[in-house]
Amino acid sequence: MVTEEKITDMVLARYRLGTVLVWLGVLTWLPFIVLRIAGGKPSLFLFLPVHLMGVVGGSRLRSWARKEMSVPIVKKSLLQTLGHGSIFIGVLVWVPYFYLKAFVHQPVDVMNYLPYHLTGVLGGIALLTINYFISRNNDVT
């Protein structure tokens, strides 16, 4: 028999699985970085699909689980908006890279784009983390 508690547990498990997938997608780059440091030339296209499936798939799972749990959407603070915007811009950095690589067939070095991507994404995550701790402290007091 399906009970409300079992449904809630399944949705919560889906949310947690989404979080795990996001982290696995991000940590996919650790072996890539180690291989590059060791002097190897691993193919970006072996790691990129795993990264995207983990990050995009995990964030979708988390979003669907939040909707199923009917988590109320709260008004975003300025730090949240800046954090999400920074992450978005950090992801958009890859548009010219893929345009040059796929359509113009020009040799492009990943390392010309990666620092901007990481700055945007990690800066956005830092802003979201700061916002989390500020809102948590405001809720306690």
The pLDDT score that the predictor gives to residue 11 is: 86
- Calculate what percentage of the chain has a pLDDT beyond 70: 94
Q: Each residue of 60-119: pLDDT tens digit?
A: 999 899 888 887 777 889 999 999 999 999 999 999 998 998 899 999 988 899 899 999
Cα–Cα distances in Å, from 80 out to 2, 66, 130, 133? 37, 17, 9, 12
Tokens of 35: 């291989």
Domain residue spans in the chain? 1-72, 74-141
pTM comes to: 0.71
The pLDDT score that the predictor gives to residue 79 is: 94
Task: Please check whether residue 80 is in contact with residue 128, taking contact to mean a CB–CB distance below 8 angstroms.
Answer: yes
What is the C-alpha to C-alpha distance for residues 105 and 125, in angstroms, rounded to an integer? 33
Number of Cβ within a 10 Å radius of residue 138: 8
Compare 55 and 73 and report the one with higher pLDDT.
Answer: 55
The pLDDT score that the predictor gives to residue 24 is: 94
